[in-house]
Amino acid sequence: MRILLVILFTLLHPGIAQIYNGRRWKGIGLIGITFIVTAFKLSLGFIPVALLYIIGIIDAIVDAVRLNKGQIDTLEGKNIWVEVVVALIIAVPVTYMINEFVTKEDGEGLTSPAPQSEQITQADQQKVQKEAIAYLKKKYKRDFTVWDVEYVWQTDKYLMKAKAKTEPDVTFSVIQSDKQFKDTLLGTLWSEQAKQELTPVFQKSFPQYSSFRTEIGFDPSLKNQAVQGGKIPDYKEIRQRSDDYNQHITVYVIRTLTRNNQTDEMKKVLRFINYLNKNNINATIEIRYYHESLLQNGVKQVNIDNEGDHINFLQYMFESDDVSQVKTLKDVEAGFRSVK
């Protein structure tokens, strides 16, 4: 019982378990360390926070075992619970307030204003911007526009947006870290091309009150193979050359499923998936069905921007991790599940 309690107390707040164990000063020390780690969590990152909890649990369990064996003494009776309650009343709210203060001070998180000592000049930004343009031109053999350069002082990285002058509608990200550049051009471009390809097919299968999004993921080695001599293959071409990619598709449909219409809806799903299979598209798919009462609330479409607001209207989902395995209506039916 003691071991379960010390685990619970540590999860509530590192240090509380040691107060319960009667190791008052060790517990107070851990509480103080938690205050410090919380105050500097954005600079320190996730690992120190996780280590604090892991070490706290292990240390508390070791002392709890020693207590059970009578190897160390502890406080007994009311005193121990009084100290635990007082520690909880103080430690948990203080940690919460520190966390709230740090979060508010940091504004939008990683791209928050840097301390005075960490701020960069306009000349620094222009230098990184020119280097990014040179990097992209060397890699893709074309001209690019780069803007919105931001310095992430917590991770010592530069983030910026870019687009090729030959594809002005496709905006992607460029990251500079340790003087090395990376970009998301291929993933962004292929995702956009995939969406353009699927849009007319999608509209035939789900003509009303629906939307979809799609992203392309691929093995890093494919990036080097794909770009040869600066030539960027389109998405259809890369599908013919390699299987080291995956297209994830999320569909949102405002449609109340009933016994009367579910077969028709499953046929629509199969029609859409048949196109994917016919065109050798390696894909995972998720189709979410929302209750039509959303329409009465003035919502005509669910998408990535508002799906969290309408989670209570979600009724059914169809999921497949490999659409090539979906070939019949029975396969479609097997992929459906009720959310409520």
Least confident of 82-91, 168-177, 197-206: 82-91
CATH architecture of 187-338: Roll (3.10)
Question: CB count, 10 Å around CB of 255?
Answer: 20
pLDDT for 105 beyond 70: no
CA distance 222 to 219: 5
Q: What kind and span of H or E run contains 314?
A: strand 314-320
CATH of 116-182, one of 3.50.50, 3.10.450, 3.40.50, 2.30.29: 3.10.450
Which of 15, 16, 23, 20 shows the shortest CA–CA distance to 2? Answer: 20
Q: Strands (DSSP E) along 170-313, which ranges?
A: 172-177, 180-183, 210-218, 245-254, 283-290
Q: Contact 265/228 with Cβ under 8 angstroms? A: no
pLDDT, tens only, 265-311: 999 999 999 999 999 999 999 999 999 999 999 999 999 999 999 99
Q: Contact 171/154 with Cβ under 8 angstroms? A: no
Question: CB count, 10 Å around CB of 100?
Answer: 10
pLDDT, tens only, 45-80: 667 777 877 887 887 787 777 766 666 555 544 467
Amino acid at 181: F
190, with CB counted inside 10 A (0-12, 13-18, 19+), is buried
Give me the residue spans of the domains in the chain.
Answer: 2-105, 116-182, 187-338
Q: What is the mean pLDDT of residues 90-105?
A: 73
Higher pLDDT, 185 or 229: 185
**Going by C-beta distance under 8 Å and a sequence separation of 6 or more, which residues neighbour residue 62?**
none
pTM over 0.85: no
Question: Position of tokens 């590192």?
Answer: 14
pLDDT at 104: 53
Share of the chain above pLDDT 70, in %: 87
Binned at pLDDT 50, 70 and 90, residue 32 comes out as: confident
Least confident of 148-157, 270-279, 319-328: 148-157
